[in-house]
Amino acid sequence: MSGERPDEGQEAGIEIPFARIDPETLQRLIEEFVTRDGADWAESGCALEDKVWQVLRQLRDGQVRVVYDQKSQTANLVPRR
């Protein structure tokens, strides 16, 4: 885990390796993330499970990371820059 300095447009907090997160917790975190804007993925022909899989693949590929913000005590998925 590494501390992050808040840079412009970047989430401040502690990076959490996704492999260290309980799989059920990670699943819920990803589901919350992909449904955050209230989108109904079925309308676009894409199931929630498909979107969750896409985000999980991005985590595995290093394109997205899990960041924990100590101030708000929340975790978020953010693009790696």
Q: How far apart are the first and last CA of the chain?
A: 16
Phi first, then psi, for residue 45 (nearest 5°) are 85, 15
Least confident of 1-5, 49-53, 70-74: 1-5
Question: What domains does the chain contain, in order, with CATH numbers?
Answer: 14-79 (1.10.10.610)
CA dihedral (26, 27, 32, 37) positive or negative: positive
pLDDT tens across 46-63, in order?
788 898 999 999 999 999
Apex 71 CA angle, 70 and 75, nearest 5: 50
